[in-house]
Amino acid sequence: MTMTNAAFSDLDSLMDASMDDIDDLPAVGVPPTGHYNLSVSAERVSNKEATGEYIKLSYIVEAINEIKNPEEESQAEVGQKFSQNFSPIKKDGTVNEWGMGFLKEAVAPFSAHFGTQKMGETIANIHQVSVAATLVRRVNKKEPDRFDFNLKDVTVL
């Protein structure tokens, strides 16, 4: 009988469990280029130095509709988590035009869906919202072991 981690009520019940009873960690990281159904949440976050804030969009893969490169299929799974940060204001307090533009682009489908005009109101409404979107993954220019991504054709479900 396989249990889920939520079924463990205390440390003793965990100690009595077999290794097969314990859930594996969910996959983490940007999935390969393809079309997905995603759950999206947004939040306003203070940076590590507490000198400013940014907007974080968090994604969970709900369904894999298509993966562009079949050799990369093993790099995507339902439940996979990844995120994207937008810094519309620089640490020195000046406007980051690129960060603001990318944030507007990412939030626009939600603004249209919710009928909201204000950025803050739209972001407050993005909590576990299901979307269908094309994800385009690319290698980060500064860190070749990390991936960046863009979402295109986002449809709120």
Place of tokens 């979107």: 133
How many domains in the chain?
A: 1
* Domain enclosing residue 118, as ranges: 26-156
Is 68 inside any structural domain?
yes
Does 83 reside within a domain?
A: yes
Residue 61 lies in a domain: yes
What does each of the 157 residues of the chain score in pLDDT, given as a tens digit?
A: 444 676 677 888 788 888 887 877 777 899 999 999 999 999 999 887 767 789 999 999 999 999 999 999 999 999 999 999 999 988 888 999 999 999 999 999 999 999 999 999 999 999 999 999 999 999 999 999 999 999 999 999 9
- 43 in any annotated domain: yes
Residue 106 lies in a domain: yes
**Structural domain includes residue 125:** yes
Residue 3 lies in a domain: no
Identify the sign of the CA torsion 81, 42, 154, 84: negative
Residue 112 covered by a domain = yes
List pLDDT tens digits, range 72-108: 999 999 999 999 999 998 888 899 999 999 999 999 9
